[in-house]
Structure 1
């Protein structure tokens, strides 16, 4: 995760801002049903992602270790989930942020993201 200066941190920030050009110009209907899904531990939540993101479980483990005592009144899993989403790893097109955002922008996202 890029937290300081340097080329990697700069590239990460540029990617986040430049990513806006990927936003679809057409209206996409909201995805529903997630509010009814029971919350599960982060380790279980990432299991379906392994075929798309082979290293997601190890990154989830690291995120959870870094969030043992969140100061923001979130649970460890909630805090680690946010950290996992913002982490980058190589190759960049296999990090959660990139894959999830690309999926959310897809016209067939309702089928790809079933609760």
Structure 2
């Protein structure tokens, strides 16, 4: 199976506002085969790839993922032709302004959501890249949203290997707060892959660094719901009720509060844009 590295280099450059995708929160968790039935019309040979993914996925595993959940992650990382590639077509759809196009993917996203919710959060430095100079699109203090699932790596060497040496390229140095490490479940475990959920918001930490020789670096910091809610501490009022600290984030779906730790894709799929 050839590997193009497109998952790591397909960067969303248009910082646009998108409406919520309604209906996802009530969507039932299906088997992988049933979830993929909705996608057969525009994912060629998907049934064959599902069988392959089930054969090679990590099961049993250390995080109690079901076989369907583990397969959902594995098939996301598989390289296929353009008319069959799950990650390529899914991410194009997640970026579409017509949000109804996301609906056929709800079953698969629900499985992927269930799988990643069982994985621990990854907090640290991750990398992503693109084979062009995009520094003019990023300014210090700017907030940007990536609407697709973003594949990153903890290894800058992995990302560099997918960039053409002869062209002007850009590396994204990302301070990650809510990533999910899928290296134990991917088709390519040596790539140290960490994924960021749809709708992840970043702040540009500094103006891009332009290196001689064509390599540029953009420094991003993930903005979490918890950060947005932080307020300066106030002295306690003995006459007022003091509730216990809540982990509920501002990402609410249909007025149902959820924590980012409990739900990942779900909290982003139906969020109202910032």
TM-score, normalised relative to structure 1: 0.77
Q: Deviations over 1:37-86 (max 9, x none)?
A: 11111011101111101211111111112237231211111110111111
**Greater helix fraction, Structure 1 or Structure 2:** 1
After superposition, the Cα gap between the structure-2 partners of 1:111 and 1:59, relative to the gap in structure 1 and judged at 3 Å, is same
Aligned length in residues:
103
Aligned-residue RMSD, C-alpha: 1.9
Name the SS of the counterpart of 1:111 in structure 2. helix
Aligned to 2:8: 17
**Greater strand fraction, Structure 1 or Structure 2:** 2
Between the aligned partners of 1:70 and 1:29, the Cα distance in structure 2 is 38
Name the SS of the counterpart of 1:36 in structure 2. coil
Aligned to 1:113: 102
After superposition, the Cα gap between the structure-2 partners of 1:69 and 1:44, relative to the gap in structure 1 and judged at 3 Å, is same
TM-score, normalised relative to structure 2: 0.35
Between the aligned partners of 2:74 and 2:58, the Cα distance in structure 1 is 12
Corresponding residue to 1:77 among 68, 72, 82: 68
CA apart distance, 1:23: 4.4
After superposition, the Cα gap between the structure-2 partners of 1:19 and 1:65, relative to the gap in structure 1 and judged at 3 Å, is same
Aligned to 1:5: none
Between the aligned partners of 2:60 and 2:28, the Cα distance in structure 1 is 22
Corresponding residue to 2:54 among 49, 56, 64: 64
**Structure 1 consecutive aligned stretches of length 4 or more whose deviation exceeds 4 Å:** none
Q: Deviations over 1:86-106 (max 9, x none)?
A: 1111x2353011000001111
Q: Which consecutive unaligned segments of at least 5 residues does structure 2 have?
A: 107-274
After superposition, the Cα gap between the structure-2 partners of 1:44 and 1:23, relative to the gap in structure 1 and judged at 3 Å, is farther
Q: Which consecutive unaligned segments of at least 5 residues does structure 1 have?
A: 2-7
